[in-house]
A and B are shown apart, each in its own frame.
Chain A
Amino acid sequence: MPGPSKDVLVAVQGVSKVYPIAVTPRERSKTLVALLRGRPAPKQFHALRDIDLEVRRGESLGLIGVNGAGKSTLLKVIAGVVKPTSGTIQVAGRISALLELGAGFHPQYTGRQNVRLATALLGLSAAQSDAKLDQILSFADIGQHIDQPIKQYSSGMVVRLGFAIATAVRPDLLITDEVLAVGDESFQRKCVEWMKSYLDDGGTLLLCAHSMFQVQKLCRRALWIDGGAIRAGGPAMQVTQDYLAWHDTLAAQSEKQARPQEKAGSYAIAELRVNGHTPGGSAVAELGGTLRIEGAVFSPDGRAPVVAIGCVRLGGAAIYGLASDMDGHTLERLGTDQFHFCLEFDPLELLPGRYEIRAHAMDPEGVRHFDEVKCDLEVRGDTLEMGLCRMRHRWLSPGALAGVPATGHGLAPDLMSPGSEGGVR
């Protein structure tokens, strides 16, 4: 695109924002003197660094990033609430900024009176405001409450009224900061629907959200802000996925760092054997055979811990899980701080396939998970049954039906075990 065109609604060039840091009255007065003399404040914080950004008419742009990255400051700069320390911002058209739903509402005044001031803040004339009132009322859906003081409103009503006012003007550019995070489900749906129709009608949206789903759904382009600077920009799907991947790595790293200290003094799986195999190898079991899971749990305080055992399809669904305390089983003490467990499934009713056995160490109360050790398991067998595990069943014929007790429980033992006449085999 050659140069700035009419299509550019917002042009941000080289924008930086520096906030003075002043907490104590002494710092505040020092900062005040510096600012009055036109000097930079003694202590500063760079909220935005050299941001370049263009928003074209009809575009939907989502800002993503961690808390404190500078997203809100950037929105405030574009909305004109914050004056940048350096750089230029050009805005062509009417902006409606929803930095906070219901900002400036006065609790003592009625909804109607608050609508008057809010529309004045949006730049509407009194006549325009009156003309929009019905539309605002119907969107906000607060009925006769409009003539009651705002302080009597529920928080949901305040939020609805705030959104209704901002959307009533059909702005050229709508700026929203996390507003979809408030309000109930139906209100959120209403907002998203409104925004979609607004975008379909050629509206321009600048949105800041923590929900990647909302960004993906509403925005075609996304901008990833990190440390006050633009880290990545492009198609929403790509940027949000990059961001999520980065976020996961970050979370994994911090978990890794946090783990060793915690592990030293907490419940842990000291040993695990699945049918004699240790984690790392792959245990083997037979359908209808025996699966034995045994091992030891370390207890830092010498109290008997709880062990939880789970079975998961490799890379998929959880199949079964239980904890020793559910069955009232207490682990047997091996040494001062080791407790032995041995759990047997016989007959094993997992269908042939690859599984993972997970053992978790838990506190004696059975409330918190501390450790997890996994072992692969391959179940072999010869069957045509489908799915993950065998379920107790039987086939009924009209003749047999008559002989069944009406109470329902107490199935005949011969019908319960698969592999006998009830089974497919």
Chain B
Amino acid sequence: MISRSRASPSLRLFREFLLREISSRYVGSVFGGVWALIQPLFQLAIYSFVFRVIFAVRFPELQQHSFTTFVACALWPWMAFQEGLQRGTHAISGNASLIKKVAFRRELLVLAAVSSIFLVHLTGFVVVLLGLTAIGEPIRLSGLPVALLGWLVMFVFSCGLAFLTSSLQVFLKDVEHVLAPVLMVMFYATPVLYPLSRVPEPYSIAMALNPAAHVLEPIRGALMRGEWAVLELLAMLAAAFAVAALCKLVFNRLSPHFEDFA
């Protein structure tokens, strides 16, 4: 094994990678990070128009809240998970020149890629919640700590799966193409646009198996109703770490060959 007397400069390296990940998306653009907010905002506007205005959707789970608030609470964490996973998938293959020539911990690239997406979307999330509150939506900002715990679970899931997909992507370029439709199906199979309780009998069981449902619903419950479903989230966090650990095993097994295949 390689023993190396390097203290832990990993933290600084992670920070530099993270800064680069964030800035590289917006370097040279006029509005910079504002774009990160605009894209999901448009999506939110479209869903609101289609479901509120055209379909005139109303269901009791909304209580006194608007459909917009209902979607917003789950849309941002989902977007962070999805984009984080997609960006993380390219973290290794997209940095081939570095991988081939410089020694450093490869997982930092994946962590930085996923973290950059989560930081950007978490900021957007808070801005949107504050905005909705400002226009009179009764959002329980006191539920934010629980929501953040939910975000943490989504982050661990996203990172963990990105360990798997990024290492497979080095060998097979098909991974990203498989990922795109899978994530699209996942989006509609996850209670972002509807509450889990509205799903009819045979499907609801299958959908209840989707871990994301058990993270997004508690986030929504905390912000819309002030519920503290901490235990459920902690259980999901444990599950997320288990998934991440498994994926990291694959990553570790394949990482000695990144230099050759990337």
Query: In the complex, A76 Cα to B102 Cα: how many Å?
Result: 9
Give the distance to chain B from A80, nearest Cβ to Cβ, in Å.
Answer: 3
Does B47 have its Cβ within 8 Å of any Cβ on chain A? Answer: no
Q: Which of A17-34 contact B (CB under 8 A)?
A: 19-20, 22, 25, 28-29, 31-32
Does B12 have its Cβ within 8 Å of any Cβ on chain A? Answer: yes
Does B250 have its Cβ within 8 Å of any Cβ on chain A? Answer: yes
B17, B20, B28 — which one has the most chain A CB atoms within 10 A of its CB? B20
Query: In the complex, A92 Cα to B100 Cα: how many Å?
Result: 22
Q: A32-B168, A36-B250, A91-B3 are in contact. Are A125 and B260 (CB under 8 A)?
A: no
B9, B12, B256 — which one has the most chain A CB atoms within 10 A of its CB? B12
The reply to whether B259 and A93 contact each other, CB–CB distance below 8 Å, is no
- Note all chain B residues with C-beta closer than 8 A to A106: 20, 24
The reply to whether A35 and B253 contact each other, CB–CB distance below 8 Å, is yes
Q: Which of B161-204 contact A (CB under 8 A)?
A: 168, 171-174
Does B51 have its Cβ within 8 Å of any Cβ on chain A? Answer: no
The reply to whether B13 and A83 contact each other, CB–CB distance below 8 Å, is no
Q: Which of A58-87 contact B (CB under 8 A)?
A: 76, 79-83
The reply to whether B101 and A109 contact each other, CB–CB distance below 8 Å, is no
The reply to whether B101 and A103 contact each other, CB–CB distance below 8 Å, is yes
Chain A contact patch, size range? 35 or more
Count CB-based A-B contacts (< 8 Å): 96
The reply to whether B101 and A104 contact each other, CB–CB distance below 8 Å, is yes
The reply to whether B7 and A35 contact each other, CB–CB distance below 8 Å, is no
* Cβ 8 A contact of A83, one of B2, B168, B173: B2
Q: A25-B172, A97-B103, A104-B98 are in contact. Are A123 and B6 (CB under 8 A)?
A: yes
Q: Mark interface residues in B114-142 (1 if CB within 8 Å of A CB, else 0).
A: 00000000000000000000000000000
- Note all chain B residues with C-beta closer than 8 A to A22: 261
Query: In the complex, A93 Cα to B254 Cα: how many Å?
Result: 27
- Note all chain B residues with C-beta closer than 8 A to A20: 257, 260
The reply to whether A35 and B257 contact each other, CB–CB distance below 8 Å, is yes
The reply to whether B12 and A120 contact each other, CB–CB distance below 8 Å, is yes
Query: In the complex, A81 Cα to B97 Cα: how many Å?
Result: 12
The reply to whether B13 and A120 contact each other, CB–CB distance below 8 Å, is yes
Does A89 have its Cβ within 8 Å of any Cβ on chain B? Answer: yes
Give the distance to chain A from B16, nearest Cβ to Cβ, in Å.
Answer: 4
* Cβ 8 A contact of B171, one of A32, A79, A99: A32
Query: In the complex, A92 Cα to B257 Cα: how many Å?
Result: 25
Query: In the complex, A117 Cα to B98 Cα: how many Å?
Result: 11
Query: In the complex, A275 Cα to B101 Cα: how many Å?
Result: 64
Does B104 have its Cβ within 8 Å of any Cβ on chain A? Answer: yes
Does A415 have its Cβ within 8 Å of any Cβ on chain B? Answer: no
The reply to whether A126 and B12 contact each other, CB–CB distance below 8 Å, is yes
The reply to whether B2 and A80 contact each other, CB–CB distance below 8 Å, is yes
Does A121 have its Cβ within 8 Å of any Cβ on chain B? Answer: yes
- Note all chain A residues with C-beta closer than 8 A to B257: 20, 35
- Note all chain B residues with C-beta closer than 8 A to A91: 2-5
Does B27 have its Cβ within 8 Å of any Cβ on chain A? Answer: yes
Nearest 5 interchain pairs by C-beta = A80-B103, A103-B101, A83-B256, A123-B9, A104-B98
Query: Measuring CB to CB, which residues of chain A are less than 8 angstroms from any residue of chain B?
Result: 19-20, 22, 25, 28-29, 31-32, 35-36, 38, 76, 79-83, 88-95, 97, 99-100, 103-104, 106, 108-109, 116-117, 120-121, 123-126
Could you list 11 further interchain pairs (A-B, Cβ under 8 angstroms) beyond the known A76-B259, A81-B99, A125-B9? A20-B257, A32-B254, A79-B103, A88-B1, A99-B102, A104-B101, A106-B20, A106-B24, A109-B20, A120-B12, A123-B9
